[in-house]
Amino acid sequence: MVNLTGKVILVTGSSRGIGATIAHQLAAAGAKVIVNYAGGQLAAEEVVHQINNKGGDAIALQADVSKTDQVKSLFDQAIAHYGKIDVLVNNAGIMINSLIKDTTDEDFNRQFDINVKGTFNTLREAATRLADSGSIINFSTSVNRLMLPTYGTYVATKAAVEQLTRVFAKEVGARGINVNSISPGPTNTELFTQGKSQELIDRLASLSAFNRIAEPDDIANVVVFLASDEAKWITAQNLGANGGMA
């Protein structure tokens, strides 16, 4: 089992879904975890409560990652509490499905603000404030490898995240920080299943080699590995975690 004892890990958008599962698995591997949330305070506090009840060490901190000042405060509070941040997991993100012709300025801007600017904001702080020899895991999507109508703006944001990942890996490599992105496929979370028919979910499941969509644990397992010292020689890469869907 991967051992993350001694590592302090910040997971953005981790009050529910994949992010909450990631927080639980990181804590189970021995890490101290900062559970970041934008608006789901009760959900975030429940994640922290569950982790601490199992003998882990976690705190919940509010910040909208699209807001520069709030991200700075998030790093301030996390470092004040734990003394450092070793690993940053940029999980926070939103997806709004619509044809490009039907996409409003508001929906376009909201996705870019959270998915791209949110990642940019945390990377900019991490450039000087993440501990030496740390790790960063950003979130892209396997939908980037497909051409699915209604995903245009979403995949545009995630393509930007992949490019930020590659460039930033070269910018901070001298400090021993490795930077990668992970591209999940369809995953059994509220974000993915909401508004989708069972027929559509089954059709997407059939694209994988295992004839199912992922569970959050499938994605969290990859994040735990990338946060470990065993993954230090992997950097500037995008890892598909999609069951062979693409």
pLDDT for 68 equals 98
Residue 1 covered by a domain: no
- Tens of pLDDT, residues 129-175: 999 999 999 999 999 999 999 999 999 999 999 999 999 999 999 99
The tokens for 162 are 């992949």
- Domains: count for the chain: 1
- Per-residue pLDDT band for 192 (boundaries 50, 70, 90) equals confident
Residue 139 burial by CB count (10 A; 0-12/13-18/19+): exposed, middle or buried? buried
CATH number at residue 231: 3.40.50.720
Considering only CA atoms, which of 118, 225, 134 is closest in space to residue 179?
134
Residue 101 burial by CB count (10 A; 0-12/13-18/19+): exposed, middle or buried? exposed
pLDDT for 145 equals 94
Residue 147 covered by a domain: yes
- Tens of pLDDT, residues 14-48: 999 999 999 999 999 999 999 999 999 999 999 99
State the pairing for strand pair 32-37/238-241. Answer: unpaired
Enumerate the H helices of 8-92 as residue ranges.
17-28, 41-53, 68-82
What percent of the chain is predicted at pLDDT more than 70? Answer: 100
H or E stretch covering 69 = helix 68-82
Question: Above 90 in pLDDT, residue 199?
Answer: yes
Residue 42 covered by a domain: yes
Q: Which of 37, 82, 151, 154 is catalytic?
A: 154
Q: How far apart are CA 234 and CA 44, in angstroms?
A: 30
Question: Above 80 in pLDDT, residue 1?
Answer: no
Q: How far apart are CA 82 and CA 242, in angstroms?
A: 34
The tokens for 224 are 């735990």
pLDDT for 191 equals 75
Residue 3 covered by a domain: no
- Catalytic residue check, 154: yes
pLDDT for 108 equals 98
Average pLDDT, the chain: 97
Residue 218 covered by a domain: yes
Q: Which residue has the tokens 């509070």?
A: 77
User: Is 80 in contact with 26 (CB distance < 8 Å)?
Assistant: no
Count H helices and E strands in the chain, helices first.
Answer: 9, 7
Residue 68 covered by a domain: yes
Domain carrying residue 236: 8-241
- Tens of pLDDT, residues 70-88: 999 999 999 999 999 999 9
* Strands (DSSP E) found in 38-74: 57-62
Q: How far apart are CA 163 and CA 165, in angstroms?
A: 5
